[in-house]
Every structure is written in structure tokens, then in C-alpha cells.
Chain A
Amino acid sequence: AQTVTQSQPEMSVQEAETVTLSCTYDTSESDYYLFWYKQPPSRQMILVIRQEAYKQQNATENRFSVNFQKAAKSFSLKISDSQLGDAAMYFCAYRDDKIIFGKGTRLHILP
């Protein structure tokens, strides 16, 4: 069965600094999607970034980028120039026939 592991329950970063959130997954599939979702206190799940497994190029969305290592089954999220509004729970997710979420990393932004 596919699993998603986020080994950092909580992280803190100084405002304007860069932080990297880790995620590993386990699958025997070759074609799948990976996502990072953000859940602020409002509890709305917001898609941050997505990566297709068949693409070697790492996805980028403004200040958010990923480091996708398919062979290592690793999918980390880098947030550059951290802002107070980035404070939230971040969930890594894997999808083939359904979406499986990791346990999440709570990110604190220190002013």
C-alpha cells in the first residue's frame, strides 16, 4: 500500500528566510501525482504545488518550489522569503487512484 511520511511534525522559520519541508512516499507505481497542500487555521485546504511523476523538472510556483527525487521517493517543499501568511499545516499528498495524505508539518513563522 502507498504511504506518505512527513518526519517533521513542526518547524519554525524566521520571516524572510527559507525553509524546506520533507516528505517521502512509498509506491510501486511509475505514474502518479504528488502535491503539497496548505491548511491555515481557517481549515481550508489550499493546493500549493503539484508535480507529475513523469516530469523530471521540479515544479515551481512563485516562492514555492519542490525537490522531486523519484528514485529516492522524496518530495520536499521549499518556501523562500517566508511570510507570516505562510504559517499553516502543510500536507504532502500522493495520488494514483486516490489521494493519500501525510500527517502534516506545522510551520511557524517567527517575526
Chain B
Amino acid sequence: SAVISQKPSRDICQRGTSLTIQCQVDSQVTMMFWYRQQPGQSLTLIATANQGSEATYESGFVIDKFPISRPNLTFSTLTVSNMSPEDSSIYLCSVEVRRNTEAFFGQGTRLTVV
């Protein structure tokens, strides 16, 4: 397994601003993922964060809105840019310890945009 620390745990932000969410893992992992969970909904994959290369985004998500960094094998950030109330969600970081198996999750960041 892996211990994942995600910060901040929650934030309330003004529309038009940006928020960067950090994800720190206690061991080196190959794959890191960012998910969005809208209120009462399931998890939707935003992108896969690849170390040393650009993130791979899922349909409906773009780099300008959700830029991702992955500077090393234990850390990644997700920025939610130019926020609107529709971006109010829980954002979750997850990692894969063994390739193509289960993912482990951080505690999530509850974002409210006002």
C-alpha cells in the first residue's frame, strides 16, 4: 500500500481564482491519478500524471483548466484554474503501487467556489 497526503483538505475560493492541490506519497510510484467527485456522484478521472512528461487528460478535461505537474515519483500537483461554482467538488489524488492493479487514495480536497 501507500500513504498519501493531500493538501489542502478543504478550501473556499472566490470565482476567477486558482487553487493548487498537492499530493505527496511516502514511496516512489509510477502512476498518479487525479479524480473529481461532484456532490453525491461517483469518481471521474481527470488525468494521469506521468513523471517527466505531460499529463494524459481524459475527455472533457483540458490542460488549461487543470494543469498538472509531476516533478518526481512521489509528488504531484493539480491546479484548478479560473474557478467557477461548477468546479465545486472533491478532488482526489490516487496512486498505483503495482502496475495495472488497485489504486490508493488520498483524503481528498473539498473545494467550494463562491
Residues of chain A having any CB pair with chain B under 8 Å? 33, 35, 42-47, 50, 91, 95-104
Contacts and interface: CB of A to CB of B under 8 A. Distances in A.
Given A43-B107, A91-B42, 11 more contacts: A33-B100, A43-B90, A43-B108, A44-B105, A45-B94, A46-B105, A50-B101, A95-B101, A99-B33, A100-B45, A101-B43
The 8 closest A-B pairs by CB, nearest first: A45-B105, A101-B43, A43-B108, A101-B42, A103-B42, A47-B102, A50-B102, A44-B107
Nearest to B92: A45
Nearest to B1: A47
B29 to A, nearest CB: 15
B100 A95 contact: yes
Interface of B: 33, 37, 41-43, 45, 48, 90, 92, 94, 100-105, 107-108, 110
A61 B43 CA distance: 24
A99 B43 CA distance: 10
Nearest to B105: A45
Q: Which of B43, B103, B105, B110 is most buried by chain A, counting CB atoms within 10 A of its CB? A: B43
A97 B108 CA distance: 23
